[in-house]
Chains A and B, each alone.
Chain A
Amino acid sequence: MSNLLAVRNLKVTDLRNQAEIIHGVSFELKKNSCLGIVGESGSGKSMTAKAMLGLTNPWLRSQGTAELSNEHGVLDLLQQDESTLRAIRGQRICMILQDAMSAFDPLAKIGSQMSETFIENKGICRSEARSMVLAALQMVNMPEPEQVLKKYSHQLSGGMLQRCMVATALAMKPDIIVADEPTTALDSINQRLVVEEFKLLRQETGTALIFISHDLGVVQHLADQVLVMRSGERVEYGEARSTFKNPQHEYTKYLIDSRLEMSKSFQKAMKRGAASA
């Protein structure tokens, strides 16, 4: 299958002090597949995604190529002007930001912000947009969606805002969804639900997914390929299954071990129950 997105040797430099933040990261994203990016905070996971979409601060310079292909041809995202990028970000690549609290406008109600996205990018009217918003919110199991529409961002919890953002991206059905820690603020039921929604969307529309997370369990569940990053560098890149089973790099091993240590008690308690039942 052909690559939907091919990022080659992506470098990000801080122009203020000439420091290189991302040191030449390369990866590919095939149609209808999921790439998981894991690593600790400050490893450059989010920066990589943002640089690709032209969402970095003005003092950062991105170099390399990020080729987005479709039936009409190939487009290097890093060479596009702002208005083209804006259209691409709205319709072909959706990004779910990590910090849900600051991603919404505090002065507008959630309902109008979500419908604004649909009106702008899908060219539909206000009432159509409203029913689309309601359907989207129901998809992510939002309690009392009618009430949520009327609220401002500070009246909702982080987890609820995150679900609003996920709902918006899912309803847009873009070519690629870039999800930056979309499930960290959610409890296990809603986490499972959002993850299943991503899976379903992928099956139905072939949307490819770049899933940035430090939760190895979720990444293992979703991703076909995995990219492990540390301090702006690609530490390991390969098939998710083999990477988790047989990590090549010390750092990957360390991440896996700390995760296993934390889930040990839980697994043990559940296994004990399974044995006695």
Chain B
Amino acid sequence: MPNLIEIKNIGKSYLKAGRNFRDTKVKVLKGVTFTIEEGLCVGLIGESGSGKSTLTRLILGLEKPDKGNGAILIKGLPVRQWIKANQGKMSVVFQDYTSSINPQYTVRETLEEPMRAMGHKGNLDGKIDVLLDKVSLSLDLKDRYAHELSGGQVQRVCIARAISTNPKFIVLDEAISSLDVSVQTQVLNLLHKLRLDMKMTYLFVAHDLQAVAHLCNKIVFLYRGEVVEEVMSWDLANAQNEYAKSLLASVIPFEV
């Protein structure tokens, strides 16, 4: 499968907290390299503070990596250049659904905004109905505000917004972590179906190995800013790295 995104030897540092902070830097990412193949769902897993969120922000073009010989290329182009040339082809769904939706917008307005930004004019009701249908939300919810919906419903609205511009690639940054387990399963199944239907590529960032194994084809383990293991999800048991192994062994399974 051709590569959609190539992450080559990326580094990122932030300034250290405390007094005299000007000189000291903390290196969050240390030469991260991996690829995201087109049409796959790649899972990115790591403990809190391992650099997952930093990496996603770099891939989304929200921040710049450290100067050096590293690069993030999408179809051979640097991230920001690719985004400029392909408006709306990259989307994101964040963990914190309440703060990623404007509380003054109804569901309809939330979904309309990205389409308007893409230059769609006139009545978008038909498109919105299709979107709501795709994420299995009732059409009655169109004129509700985010606070009138449950968490699972708001997250579905966020997913609908993410796919409203027919993206090629979606970053799911802990997109299901704030949901209940029963709702998580529903949303995971929905995401899986959407990816196949719309031929999308996912980067699924999470800390729940079981969810990652459920959705992803390939799993990348990030530890203290370095990629320590890359493994296909069916082959999880054969992970070689010590950290990956201990992550896998620590999962508390539910068995009946």
Contact = CB atoms under 8 A, between A and B. Distances in A.
Interface of A: 40-42, 143, 147, 150-152, 155, 157-160, 184-193, 195, 214-218, 220-221, 244-245, 254-256, 258-274, 276-277
Nearest to A163: B48
Nearest to A262: B185
Interface in B208-256: 208-211, 213-214, 233-238, 246-248, 250-256
Contact of A157 (B49, B182, B210): B49
A186 B181 contact: no
B211 A262 contact: yes
A184 B180 contact: no
A262 B184 contact: yes
B251 A266 contact: yes
B49 A188 contact: no
A277 B53 CA distance: 35
A159 B207 contact: yes
Counting chain B residues whose Cβ lies within 8 A of the other chain, the interface size class is: 35 or more
B170 to A, nearest CB: 20
B181 A214 contact: yes
A265 B252 contact: no
Given A147-B17, A187-B207, A265 B214 contact: yes
A218 B48 contact: no
Contact of A270 (B17, B183, B248): B248
A191 B254 contact: no
Q: Say whether chain B's binding surface is mostly helix, strand, loop, or mixed.
A: helix
13 contacts: A159-B47, A159-B48, A186-B47, A188-B208, A189-B250, A190-B48, A216-B181, A258-B184, A262-B184, A266-B236, A270-B236, A270-B248, A273-B236
Q: Say whether chain A's binding surface is mostly helix, strand, loop, or mixed.
A: helix
A22 B13 CA distance: 49
B177 interface: yes
B188 interface: yes
Given A41-B150, A41-B179, 9 more contacts: A42-B150, A187-B47, A188-B208, A258-B182, A262-B185, A263-B253, A263-B254, A269-B213, A270-B237
Given A150-B18, A185-B177, A277-B237, A266 B256 contact: no
A217 B254 contact: yes
Given A41-B151, A256-B256, A269-B234, A159 B250 contact: no
Contacts of B183: 40
A180 to B, nearest CB: 14
Nearest to B251: A188
A276 B234 CA distance: 13
Contacts of A193: 250
A160 B177 CA distance: 15
B65 interface: no
A106 B213 CA distance: 36
Interface string B181-205: 1111110100000000000000000
A215 B211 CA distance: 12
A40 B180 contact: yes
A237 to B, nearest CB: 18
A160 B207 CA distance: 13
Contacts of B252: 188, 191-192, 195, 215, 217-218, 220-221
A191 B48 CA distance: 11
Of listed B182, B188, B214, B236, residue having the most chain A CB within 10 A: B182
A269 B181 contact: no
A260 B47 CA distance: 24
B249 to A, nearest CB: 8
Contacts of B11: none
Of listed A185, A187, A215, A244, residue having the most chain B CB within 10 A: A187
B235 A269 contact: yes
A184 B18 CA distance: 29
